[in-house]
Structure 1
Amino acid sequence: MAAETGATPSDDECADVLQSMVYFLDNELDQADCVAVRQHLDSCNPCLEKYDLQRTVKMVVARSCAETAPADLRDRVRLRIREVQVRITER
């Protein structure tokens, strides 16, 4: 999967790494595949940039999903949903 040291990674190698990226980020690859992805990222700046972007997005989404909306906001949203439901049923 990874290019030899000093060699430019091929498009096929990059495609393989990009397909494995989600599994790599989720620690779902076996040790040999993890080593291959790490070696490729060490030698391929474009793939490393894509990895950094995906890792950042994953962290932001995880953080956002862990936050709870304030009670007053949730109450206002529920009220608006009920108002829309009433309008729909009245039609």
Structure 2
Amino acid sequence: MTHDHHSHAGPEPSAQDCADFLERIVYFIDNELDEADCSEVQVHLDTCNPCLAKYDLQRTVKSVVARSCHEAAPDELRQRVLFQIRQVQVEIREG
């Protein structure tokens, strides 16, 4: 699969566009987005070098942490943490 970095004609992404995509990068890395959202994030990363650099950094950090940590959090704790993260994201969007 090849990516043509010049195929996306149009205005440069705004700071808000990038902020929106950066919120979704963690879910993108974890394969927790639906196909349409994955496509949107991939197109943005293909056309926005600053976001691509942040994506690469997130992926690297996640990989290092995964190699360093051999224990998994209990599922109940994991679900509570994910719920809290989503609540904060909603508050940020609405605020």
Specify the TM-score bucket, using the shorter chain as the normaliser: 0.5 to 0.7
- Partner SS, residue 9 of structure 1: coil
Partner of 1:53: 57
| Identity over aligned pairs, percent | 66
Selected match of 1:24 from 16, 28, 32: 28
Q: What TM-score results when the alignment is normalised by the length of structure 2?
A: 0.63
Q: Which runs of 5+ in 2 are unaligned?
A: 1-6, 72-95
Q: Which runs of 5+ in 1 are unaligned?
A: 68-91
Aligned residues: 64
Query: Could you tell me how far apart the structure 2 residues matched to 1:12 and 1:64 are?
Result: 34
Partner of 2:39: 35
Partner of 2:67: 63
RMSD (Å) for aligned C-alpha atoms: 1.7
Larger Rg: 1
Would you identify which runs of 4 or more consecutive aligned residues in structure 1 move more than 6 Å? none
Q: What TM-score results when the alignment is normalised by the length of structure 1?
A: 0.65
